[in-house]
Amino acid sequence: MSPRQELIRQKLIRQELAAAIFDEVGALTRDEAGITREAYGEGEERAMQAIERRAALLGLAAERDRFQNLWLRLPEDSRAEPPVVIGSHLDSVPRGGNFDGLAGVVAGLLLLDALRGQAMTAPPLRVLALRGEESAFYGKACIGSLALLGQLPASALSLHHRSGRGTLGEAMARSGVDVDAVARSEALLAPAEIAAYLELHIEQGPVMTARDWPSAVVTGIRGNLRHNRIRCLGEAGHSGAVPRWLRKDAVLAVAELLSRMDEHWRVLLQMGMDLVMTAGICTTAPESHAVSVIPGEVSFSFEVRSQDSATLERFYELFREECRTVATSRGVRFAFDACLASPPAVMDAGWIGCIEAAGHARGTSVEQIASGAGHDAAVFANAGVPSGMIFVRNANGSHNPDEAMAIGDFADGVDLMLKALRKAVPSKISTCPHALA
């Protein structure tokens, strides 16, 4: 077999391996519609165990930390010096897609596999499968990475499950997490103990497909301010008997509030600001709502995201001001739960340069893109760890069952990460002969 044929053979083997892992984890965590890997729940645990089994089959060392995040490494490489960490998460939103998070962990696994038997990289390479990145079940994002760095506020442990199934702290304890250590804000790792954090992730948006970019380099990550539950309290009444001027209709109040915010959003976009706003949950009380009842109560979530902290804060202030205005004009009251914040993050210029240079070296230009979605990379970057992200294009959006990714695009992204690693740590890693795409 010629070297070129051998390269093609390696490429096919790795794509098949990746596809098999995606299929296996997908099959283990599929529910009636889509994929559900609940943070600190059953689906996430199944995914963790599937990755552990794969690691064992591939002869990689796997170990969980005290917060039940999973670490993989080459067995011969137990060096203690600060590693380059390739990470992502294994949980998902309810009824989501198979690739959000999982793609980054599989990418790390393939990279370790590709480097096996070669001279060791300097610094060492570690793969990290994080838990609880999605905020869908407990309303708090990036739980695993924040806890790892000792940055998860103890108050987060009291957050309630979206369907009333206990608290986050209880779920973490059931998963084997040392919750007392989390409550003490004990860090398992200091930022200085990590040389760099890299994450491969699907884009989750339509831009790369529209522009025909298989992979891209991420420049920054939007932060957000959010309330998981705001209650708008009006007055229930007979839908036929109460005239408009005497109503305190909570649905109309929330509808007006959101329309006003939508208009502010439109204007701020015209002014060139980076902003998205969502009320993903909006519901009347099922135990008392009826066609013939003026709604007396609405519960809704509110989230604003931006790459710019000042924009986030200004838009949030505007929201609270509009709540006051609508409360007065419609005779309702708003009751707020805690406002949760995830700050925006900027990716490391050095890693952006390395990823771009890696693209040039293989004859493709790698475009820059900002991430609309949140990622664990933001937690590491904001803690001072030089962080980089590669996006892989995907079809049909994300956080839905139709999310799709071509395995060739995934391999392209993994190849880019390997080449960027070679650029950044050229000393020994460059002896690796395998191409991943």
| Ramachandran bin of 166, using left for φ above 0, alpha for ψ from -120 to 50, beta for the remaining angles | left
> What x/- string results for residues 356 through 395 when contact with ligand GLV is judged by CB under 6 A?
-----------------xx---------------------
**Cβ atoms 363, 237 nearer than 8 A:** no
Q: If DSSP codes are grouped into helix, strand and coil, which group holds residue 54?
A: helix
**Nearer to ligand GLV (CB atom), residue 45 or residue 303:** 303
Structure tokens at 257: 């509030």
CB of 36 to ligand GLV, least distance (A): 14
Identity at 397, one-letter amino acid code = G
Decide if residue 348 touches Mn ion (CB under 5 A).
no
Of Mn ion, ligand GLV, none, which one sits near residue 374, judging by CB under 5 to 8 A according to partner kind?
A: ligand GLV
**Nearer to ligand GLV (CB atom), residue 149 or residue 221:** 221
CB of 118 to ligand GLV, least distance (A): 34
Of Mn ion, ligand GLV, none, which one sits near residue 97, judging by CB under 5 to 8 A according to partner kind?
A: none
CB of 68 to ligand GLV, least distance (A): 20
**Cβ atoms 358, 419 nearer than 8 A:** yes
Alpha-carbon span 54 to 62, nearest angstrom: 10
Of Mn ion, ligand GLV, none, which one sits near residue 249, judging by CB under 5 to 8 A according to partner kind?
A: none
Of Mn ion, ligand GLV, none, which one sits near residue 44, judging by CB under 5 to 8 A according to partner kind?
A: none
**What count of Cα atoms within 13 Å lies in the side-chain half-sphere of residue 340?**
22
Q: Which residues pair with 388 in a beta bridge?
A: 198
CA-closest candidate to residue 342, choices 179, 221, 229? 221
**Nearer to ligand GLV (CB atom), residue 134 or residue 415:** 134
Which of 45, 100, 322, 409 contacts Mn ion by CB under 5 A?
Answer: 100
CB of 435 to ligand GLV, least distance (A): 31
CA-closest candidate to residue 88, choices 404, 292, 355, 377? 377
**Cβ atoms 93, 396 nearer than 8 A:** no
Q: If DSSP codes are grouped into helix, strand and coil, which group holds residue 284?
A: strand
How far from each other are the two terminal CA atoms of the chain, in whole angstroms?
18
**Nearer to Mn ion (CB atom), residue 396 or residue 431:** 396
Stretch that binds ligand GLV, among 133-141, 167-175, 232-240, 412-420 (CB under 6 A): 133-141
By DSSP bridging, strand 84-89 and strand 196-202 are: parallel
CA-closest candidate to residue 57, choices 47, 65, 49, 46? 49
Which of 38, 45, 113, 134 contacts ligand GLV by CB under 6 A?
Answer: 134
CB of 231 to ligand GLV, least distance (A): 23
Q: Which residue is nearest to ligand GLV (CB)?
A: 374
Q: DSSP H helical segments within 58-178, as ranges?
A: 102-115, 143-148, 168-174
* Residues contributing to the site for ligand GLV (CB under 6 A): 134-135, 141, 373-374
Residues in the site for Mn ion, rule: CB under 5 A?
100-101
